[in-house]
Structure 1
Amino acid sequence: MRKRWALLPLLLLFVTACRDSNGAGPRIPDVVVDEQINVNSQLFPMLRQDGGYAYIPGGYKGLLVVRQNAGQYYAFERACPYDPTASCSEIKVDASNLFIVDDCCGSQFNLQGEVTGGPAVYGLRQYQTALMGSVLYIKN
């Protein structure tokens, strides 16, 4: 029985190593995210309509805030999960305003951050959001 428990840490290490080395490329570096914005500010006019978005500083390569509706906002890391350390890796909303794309690797994501095409296999890194009045708090 003791031998089984002794192997548990080794098994967990193996599972973790496999998860990080499955061809998804380098991990997005962990950084502290603690931002707040006023969604009614003149700086973010697109956040006043559903499907609107704004780019703000923060995170590893910046943040993309997307409004789903008046009470729900998503905040995503702008580094593409396929190869976040590439100098050209930076997601943006496509000119059609219908999806998110990384022009560097060609990965595409819907406005909820899920993969819809390209080499990326993981969705966008999403941060927690909380709306209090007109202030949106973004944290990890």
Structure 2
Amino acid sequence: MKKIWLLTLLVCTLLSCSDSNNSSKNPNIPNYSVSAYINTNLPAYNKLLYPSNPVFVPNYGAKGLIVMMTGPGTYTAFDAACPNQPLNSCTAMTIDGINAVCSCDKSTYSLYTGIGDKEYPMKQYRVEASGSVIHVYN
């Protein structure tokens, strides 16, 4: 009997796991390959040395990247495309403090979580930091 309960618990645990990749579920933002290396020693990206100072990085993803340090050695990176609008209908999201604002519907998204008040959250990318270089990729 114990083996059955243990097996049931193991199966339930395995089925509840996910790869934390919700970005492929958004029909508005294509899955472009992203591999950006950001050097925080450069003046354009120096703000990333301090928490809560987001930076826009053009020419990556669908509409560019918005990268922000959330704590010591931890970063978030999101696509600057409006997640709840067709790709060609809006320009890149703008930064307003620790939020991103969609140019079409003025909806606001947290740069800590990517969550806003609409159906889809911002498309998030993986981030690795090593010394003065931040690698954003998918």
Asked whether the two chains share a fold, i.e. TM above 0.5, the reply is yes
Aligned CA-pair RMSD: 1.8
Q: Residue 99 of structure 1 corresponds to which residue in structure 2?
A: 99
1:60-82 CA deviation, whole Å, 9 max, x = no partner?
Answer: 11111111123011110010110
Between the two proteins, the alignment pairs up a number of residues equal to 113
CA distance in 1 between counterparts of 2:56 and 2:88 reads 19
SS at match of 2:88: coil
| AA at the equivalent of 1:128 | R
Contact 2:99–2:110, Cα closer than 8 Å, also in 1 = yes
Q: Give the aligned partner of residue 4 of structure 1.
A: none
Q: When the two structures are superposed, what TM-score results if normalisation uses the length of structure 2? A: 0.73
Contact 2:98 2:112 (C-alpha < 8 Å) held by counterparts: no
Does 2:123 align with 1:125?
Answer: yes
* Alpha-carbon distance in structure 1 between the residues aligned to 2:91 and 2:104: 6
Cα distance, 1:125–1:74 mapped onto 2, change above 3 Å: same
Q: Paired residue for 1:86? A: 88
**In the superposition, relative to structure 1, how do residues 116 and 44 fare at CA in structure 2: closer, same or farther (>3 Å)?**
same
> How many angstroms does 1:129 deviate by?
0.4
Q: When you count helix as a share of all residues, which structure comes out higher?
A: 2
In structure 2, give the amino acid aligned to 1:51: S
- Structure 1 counterpart of 2:109, which letter? F
Deviation for aligned residue 1:100: 1.7
Name structure 1 gaps, 5 residues minimum.
1-19
Residue 89 (structure 1) shift: 4.1
| Sequence identity percentage | 32
Distance of 1:105 and 1:66 partners within structure 2? 23
Q: CA offset at residue 90 of structure 1?
A: 2.2
1:9 is matched with none
The CA distance in 1 between the partners of 2:119 and 2:89, in whole Å, is 20
